[in-house]
Structure 1
Amino acid sequence: MTSIAKNKNNIELLSEKNVKKYVLPYYGLHNAEVSQVKLKDTDKQRAVYRVSYKDKEYCLKKVYFPLEELLFVYSAVEWLYRYGVKVPRILSTLNHSRYVNYENMLFILTPWIDGDKCDFDSIKHVLLTSGNLGKIHKVSQNFKPILGSSEKIGCTNPHNSLNKHYNNLMTYSNLAFKHNDKFSRIFLDNIETSLLLAKTSNNISSSINLDNLSKSLCHNDYVSKNIIVDKNDIWVIDFDKCKYDFCALDISYCLRRLLRRDGTKWNVELTITFLNEYEKHNQLTIDDYKYILSYLAFPQKYWKISRDYFANISKCNKKAFISLIEKVVAQHEDQLNFVRKFTEYIEFKFGETL
């Protein structure tokens, strides 16, 4: 059977009718109402359903990773639940399994979490988000997954990737000179500021002492879509990407999403407030701060858009790419000012020159 045929069959298997008939009975949810809320038909195929049964709501999800990784995710959720972090637990089937294997696809069921998606325009939500992340990292420093789990460990040297990306920008500069189209000219008009950001990022990351970086269980996708606010409670969902990693990576990933937004654009005061709230629960080292600074300093969007453009220049939608890069470079001066101010703050906080 061809891969196209397999994908087609998988999509048919993932219909609401089929999961209702072949998956939900394992949970005793006969005749439940099912609606598909997400279907991502890629190499990492996933699907999400909202399930209503009597007066309860559930989330049924087809996962895209093997059983060993699912056991790691289950371990992470249970660990955090036992330490008081609000997470939707993976529910048991009638035969006490934590998943259903249907046509070689794994499904899990959790309670459906009602509430509002975290609003990064709300300082209250931002503080709840940062404080909760500090709590997650504090309680999971000694996290151990259950027997049979895969070892999902990150902790890679950030300088390796940042240095590689810095060199990529030099390559893209040569390509821009060669093609000399509108996108390339916009790229070259902004290369000086972009290289300054990338060089700063590269230099700071090269000075990080990896042994002095804080480590814990990390969510690795701790952004507004995965943070639900219910009154004064905060819930964290979707632990698919979680692993044992540097705390600063989780923090940096969340902050970058926060700081790219128009309403909170490269706001150094908000960043400091975020980190102060985080540190009420989990103290950070100077190397954690260096990691965060180097991560936020790199012109990641500029690099990524340029990479994708020059790799697909003969077949891409050039107008769309031009629009994307124009939007990105409009923030570069703000990003550069942020880096300068944040560097000054770190130097003052730790009494060291970076």
Structure 2
Amino acid sequence: MSKKPSSKQNIFSEEYVKKNILHHYDLEDSTIGLIKFKDTQKHRAVYKISSKSAAFCLKKIYFNEDSLLFVYSALQWLWKKGIKTPILLNTKDGLKYVKHDGMIFILTPWVDGYKCDFDNLDHIILSVRQLAHIHNSSRSFFPIKGSEDRVGLNSYYISILKHFNHLLTSYNKAVSTKDKFSNIFLENFEDNLFLAKKSLEIASHIDDDELSKSICHGDYVSKNILFDNDNNIWVIDLDKCKYDYSIRDLGYFLRRLLRRDNTCFNLELALSLLREYNYHSKLTPSDLRYLVTYISFPQKFWKISKDYFKNIGKCNKTAFITLLMKSNEKLNFQIDFVKEIIPRIEKEYNITL
């Protein structure tokens, strides 16, 4: 029985990885570079492994074997449909992962390339097109038997309603607390409430049965979209993937894009990307309602205030004040965007949001 390492430094040392993990792949003579490390309750790490003939990505994952089987199922499904995703490589014993000291490691080929540039219009369009292909090709997806049941498909209206009520609770707490955070919260409350009300109103008209379903990446952002030297697009890090409402992926992508300074709630850019996605993967009226609901809701304002009042006695108040102020920097742009995109979508897609 192997003895558990005494510290994370030991766990993630080059000697430890070579001795306990890489020898399963006959790669113990390779060089190791630690690319990413997250010191959370469940440590996560990514290494670049360079042998004489090739480079690989070694990842210490944070989920169990049943969940890994689901991720593996999704990777295999998409690869067979022509979507470039990293494939899990076999150990010399024919296994898809190494389990050691209660930790699970997987190895994939290293993808040489550069991440999607959100200031490059071609990159953005190709990324949205690829997302549409991912969704279209996985409508009938089913995981390998024994996989974790990674299915979302939760009511977004109920979720938004809970968030809306949290905002009202935070308002009451701010009124009674009267500290600096509370004052900033109250100064910006009415504008954020407008967004929350609009989001909730549109969400109430979503028909869950009409929403498109597929494999969803779960973290479809620039760092997980790579372009190789031949300009092929690769989609990496499907650790959060699940079978869910497809439009959530697009909403997540657009919300990240639209909050940037250079693309700050750019209405014409958003509409052009929506057309690109719709051309390759037809959007239903409820898909569009979900998307506008998703982009409209004041997510950061809601979450920061909820977390602050929940942990008010032990949090770093200065840090929370900074986060709250930052969350409102683009508030007027978001309000104008929401006011303008609703009639544009209604006219272009002949629907009522």
For this structure pair, what is the TM-score category when the shorter chain's length is used for normalisation? Answer: over 0.9
Report the AA paired with residue 84 of structure 2. K
Report the counterpart of residue 242 of structure 1 in structure 2. 241
**Distance in 1 (alpha carbons) for counterparts of 2:168 and 2:50:** 54
**Distance in 2 (alpha carbons) for counterparts of 1:55 and 1:270:** 43
**Pairing of 1:73-88 with structure 2 (within 5 A):** 73-88=71-86
SS in structure 2 of the partner of residue 302 of structure 1: helix
**Using a 3 Å threshold, how does the CA distance of structure 1 residues 8 and 167 change in structure 2: closer, same or farther?**
farther
**Distance in 1 (alpha carbons) for counterparts of 2:241 and 2:352:** 34
Report the AA paired with residue 104 of structure 2. L
Report the counterpart of residue 3 of structure 1 in structure 2. none
Gap regions ≥5 residues in structure 2: none
Give the root-mean-square deviation of aligned CA atoms. Answer: 1.6
Report the counterpart of residue 161 of structure 2 in structure 1. 163
Q: Deviations over 1:109-139 (max 9, x none)?
A: 0011111111111111110110000010011
**Distance in 1 (alpha carbons) for counterparts of 2:6 and 2:179:** 40
Report the AA paired with residue 106 of structure 1. I
**Would you say the 8 A contact 2:5–2:11 is kept in 1?**
no
SS in structure 2 of the partner of residue 341 of structure 1: helix
**Distance in 2 (alpha carbons) for counterparts of 1:242 and 1:258:** 20
Q: CA deviation at 1:105?
A: 1.2
**Distance in 1 (alpha carbons) for counterparts of 2:277 and 2:191:** 31
Q: CA deviation at 1:7?
A: 8.6
SS in structure 2 of the partner of residue 352 of structure 1: coil
Q: CA deviation at 1:10?
A: 5.1
Q: Deviations over 1:85-124 (max 9, x none)?
A: 1111111111111111111211100011111111111111
Report the counterpart of residue 277 of structure 2 in structure 1. 278
SS in structure 2 of the partner of residue 262 of structure 1: coil
Report the counterpart of residue 70 of structure 2 in structure 1. 72
Q: CA deviation at 1:24?
A: 0.7
SS in structure 1 of the partner of residue 339 of structure 2: helix
Runs of 4+ that moved beyond 6 A: none
**Distance in 2 (alpha carbons) for counterparts of 1:201 and 1:271:** 17
Q: Deviations over 1:300-337 (max 9, x none)?
A: 00011111222222333322222222222121111111
**Distance in 2 (alpha carbons) for counterparts of 1:139 and 1:32:** 37
**Distance in 1 (alpha carbons) for counterparts of 2:133 and 2:279:** 9
Report the counterpart of residue 313 of structure 1 in structure 2. 312
Is 1:17 aligned to 2:25, yes or no?
no
Is 1:293 aligned to 2:292, yes or no?
yes
**Distance in 1 (alpha carbons) for counterparts of 2:266 and 2:233:** 23
**Distance in 1 (alpha carbons) for counterparts of 2:11 and 2:339:** 53
When the two structures are superposed, what TM-score results if normalisation uses the length of structure 1? 0.95
**Distance in 2 (alpha carbons) for counterparts of 1:353 and 1:154:** 26
SS in structure 1 of the partner of residue 145 of structure 2: coil
275-284 or 233-242, larger mean C-alpha shift: 275-284
Report the counterpart of residue 252 of structure 1 in structure 2. 251
Q: CA deviation at 1:282?
A: 0.9
Report the AA paired with residue 295 of structure 1. Y
Q: CA deviation at 1:64?
A: 0.9
Q: CA deviation at 1:8?
A: 4.7
**Pairing of 1:18-97 with structure 2 (within 5 A):** 18-97=16-95
SS in structure 2 of the partner of residue 164 of structure 1: helix
Report the AA paired with residue 267 of structure 1. N
**Distance in 1 (alpha carbons) for counterparts of 2:59 and 2:154:** 30
Report the AA paired with residue 99 of structure 2. N
Q: CA deviation at 1:276?
A: 1.4
Report the counterpart of residue 194 of structure 2 in structure 1. 196
Gap regions ≥5 residues in structure 1: 1-5
**Distance in 2 (alpha carbons) for counterparts of 1:181 and 1:65:** 40
Report the counterpart of residue 220 of structure 1 in structure 2. 218
**Would you say the 8 A contact 2:71–2:241 is kept in 1?**
yes
**Distance in 2 (alpha carbons) for counterparts of 1:145 and 1:352:** 35
Q: Count residues in correspondence.
A: 350
Taking only the aligned residue pairs, the percentage that are identical comes to 49
SS in structure 2 of the partner of residue 90 of structure 1: coil
**Pairing of 1:100-111 with structure 2 (within 5 A):** 100-111=98-109
Is 1:266 aligned to 2:274, yes or no?
no
Match of 1:113 among 107, 111, 114: 111
**Distance in 2 (alpha carbons) for counterparts of 1:351 and 1:65:** 44
**Using a 3 Å threshold, how does the CA distance of structure 1 residues 266 and 68 change in structure 2: closer, same or farther?**
same
When the two structures are superposed, what TM-score results if normalisation uses the length of structure 2? 0.95
**Distance in 2 (alpha carbons) for counterparts of 1:290 and 1:308:** 28
Q: Deviations over 1:205-232 (max 9, x none)?
A: 1110000000001101101111112242
SS in structure 1 of the partner of residue 234 of structure 2: strand
**Distance in 2 (alpha carbons) for counterparts of 1:219 and 1:120:** 18
SS in structure 2 of the partner of residue 42 of structure 1: coil
Report the AA paired with residue 124 of structure 1. D
